[in-house]
């Protein structure tokens, strides 16, 4: 891949994104696996598995019912075949829909209680989960003052969020940044209001599957008039074999607010393919702005076409309010197959959606 310099940067795309493209352009270097004891749900997708996921997350009854409604819809849908993409038929009953490290059976109260193997995994990926540190790979960051270097991270490992940094500091500004499983328990009024309002349960085959089985993901709420005091980021890591990842991300920027959010992802190098079916919903209210960036770097498979991640995702922003704005940067460098619906609904007057 040719080197990118400052002259290659389009207006609206920052140098950090260019650096990320340069970083992932070479040989895949994230194909190692973390040796850690895991807990699995039985293979397959059915009502019992959906209830198990809901039970593991200690969800209220309304959330379980929402999932089961999605499952019922999904069983009546057919997998789309119209895309001009060739890949082996997926056996959806031969997947693990829930896998977590056994050390995460009791949710850690702080990062100090997280399994050192998990912390070491993210350290090796360049995503240190220490609040005094920053995301790796940001050019010149070491010269920035400490206040300017903060990046809050939600680290998702297979089916669970390992931990979220800077929650207390963000809470002082009224910003909620946590796993979506925590949001369902602690902020049900917000989740009820916004979940499925941009990407409904019946949107498409993979989004409907996600609605039934998503085990975790990230949740962001920025209150009216607040500029989020730091960058937010989620890093998704698939580690377990024969396991799909089905995270759900819900970002809400209330009136007059601003937030910048970056997500990244990697997976081990294997001969067998794995499934990733995610949903991202972004709600932008009046005079609010969201900068959403994603660097997709799933394992693409080997030179003979073996292995890799089948990446079937639905990502959508809804600019609901007048003068609302989304600046969307996406970098697709990995996966064996990508089937993606990125879109922006310009509902409000003078609303804007910029894609890079």
Is 275 among the domain residues? Answer: yes
Is 183 among the domain residues? Answer: yes
Q: Which domain holds residue 144?
A: 30-355
pLDDT at 12: 54
Domain count, the chain: 1
**Which pLDDT band holds residue 114 (cuts at 50, 70, 90)?**
confident
**Which residues, 6 or more positions from 147, have their beta carbon under 8 angstroms from its beta carbon?**
none
92-106, 189-203, 328-342: segment of lowest average pLDDT: 328-342
| pLDDT at residue 102 tops 80 | yes
Nearest partner of 333 among 307, 302, 300, 309, judged by Cα: 300
Q: Is 97 exposed, middle or buried (0-12, 13-18, 19+ CB in 10 A)?
A: buried
pLDDT tens digits, 301-340:
888 778 899 999 999 999 999 999 999 998 888 888 888 8
**Which pLDDT band holds residue 86 (cuts at 50, 70, 90)?**
confident
Is 1 among the domain residues? Answer: no
| Residue 312 near residue 281 (C-beta atoms within 8 A) | no
pLDDT tens digits, 34-81:
999 999 999 999 999 999 999 999 999 999 999 999 999 999 999 988
**Which pLDDT band holds residue 15 (cuts at 50, 70, 90)?**
low
**Which pLDDT band holds residue 6 (cuts at 50, 70, 90)?**
very low
Is 224 among the domain residues? Answer: yes
Is 136 among the domain residues? Answer: yes
φ, ψ (nearest 5 deg) of residue 202? -95, 15
| pLDDT at residue 143 tops 50 | no
Kindly state the DSSP code that residue 20 receives in the 8-state scheme. Answer: H
């Amino acid at each position: 891949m040719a080197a990118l310099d400052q002259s290659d940067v389009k207006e609206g795309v920052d140098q950090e994104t260019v650096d990320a493209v340069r970083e992932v352009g070479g040989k895949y270097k994230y194909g190692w696996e973390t040796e850690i004891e895991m807990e699995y749900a039985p293979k397959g997708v059915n009502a019992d598995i959906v209830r198990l996921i809901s039970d593991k997350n200690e969800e209220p009854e309304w959330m379980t019912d929402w999932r089961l409604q999605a499952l019922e819809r999904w069983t009546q849908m057919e997998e789309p075949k119209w895309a001009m993409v060739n890949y082996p038929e997926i056996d959806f009953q031969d997947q693990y829909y829930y896998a977590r490290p056994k050390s995460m059976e009791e949710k850690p109260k702080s990062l100090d209680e997280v399994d050192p193997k998990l912390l070491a995994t993210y350290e090796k990926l360049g995503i240190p989960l220490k609040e005094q540190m920053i995301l790796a790979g940001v050019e010149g960051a070491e010269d920035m003052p400490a206040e300017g270097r903060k990046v809050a991270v939600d680290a998702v490992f297979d089916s669970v969020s390992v931990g979220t940094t800077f929650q207390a500091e963000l809470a002082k500004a009224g910003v909620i940044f946590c796993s979506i499983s925590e949001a369902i328990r602690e902020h049900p009024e917000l989740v009820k209001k916004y979940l499925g309002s941009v990407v409904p349960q019946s949107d498409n085959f993979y989004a409907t599957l996600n609605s039934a089985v998503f085990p975790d993901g990230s949740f962001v709420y920025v209150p009216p008039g607040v500029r989020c005091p730091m960058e937010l980021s989620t890093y998704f890591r698939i580690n377990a074999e024969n396991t799909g990842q089905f995270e759900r991300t819900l970002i809400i920027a209330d009136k007059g607010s601003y937030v910048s959010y970056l997500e990244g992802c990697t997976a081990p190098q294997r001969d067998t393919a794995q499934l990733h079916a995610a949903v991202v919903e972004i709600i932008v209210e009046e005079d609010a702005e969201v900068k959403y960036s994603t660097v997709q770097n799933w394992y693409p498979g080997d030179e003979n076409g073996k292995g890799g991640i089948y990446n079937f995702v639905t990502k959508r922003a809804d600019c609901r309010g007048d003068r609302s704005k989304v600046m969307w940067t996406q970098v697709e460098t990995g996966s064996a197959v990508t089937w993606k619906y990125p879109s922006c609904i310009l509902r409000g007057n003078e609303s804007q959606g910029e894609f890079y």
